[in-house]
Amino acid sequence: MTILGVSPDAPAKNAKFQAKQAFPYRLLSDTEQQLAGAYGIWGEKSFMGKTYMGLERSTWLVDGAGVVQEVWRNVKVKGHVDAVLLAAQDLA
């Protein structure tokens, strides 16, 4: 199983995040939002009355043949990792 993270941040910022959080997976930079745009997760967001462009936090489970098997959108951290790992184990 291969686990990848994708962030719109620059590689240097991602490296800093990985070091600080002890993030054990490869973290790709999508600074031009090409991947996020292709998956439909880059768009207008709002927070505290301000509107900005941003990433919808989501997880995509893709099998070895490149077929999307499951999608979690607007992810909340609590319990999410367990749900994804369980679904990934079911693919094996």
pLDDT tens sequence across 18-52: 999 999 889 999 999 999 999 999 999 999 999 99
In a domain, 47, yes or no: no
Q: Is residue 15 included in any domain, yes or no?
A: yes
The mean pLDDT of 73-85, rounded to a whole number, is 88
Indicate the pTM of the whole model. Answer: 0.75
Domain-embedded: residue 59: no
Number of domains in the chain: 1
pLDDT of residue 20: 95
Q: Does any domain span residue 78?
A: no
- The answer to whether residue 33 sits within a structural domain is yes
The residue range of the domain holding 2 is: 1-40
Given a cut of 80, is residue 62 above it in pLDDT?
yes
Kindly give, in sequence order, each residue whose CB lies less than 8 Å from that of residue 88, ignoring residues fewer than 6 positions away: 1, 61
Residue 6 lies in a domain: yes
- Cβ neighbours around 26 below 10 Å, total: 12
Angle at 59 between CA 92 and CA 35, to 5 degrees: 110
Give the tokens for residue 68: 């999307």
The structure tokens listed for 88 are 């990934």
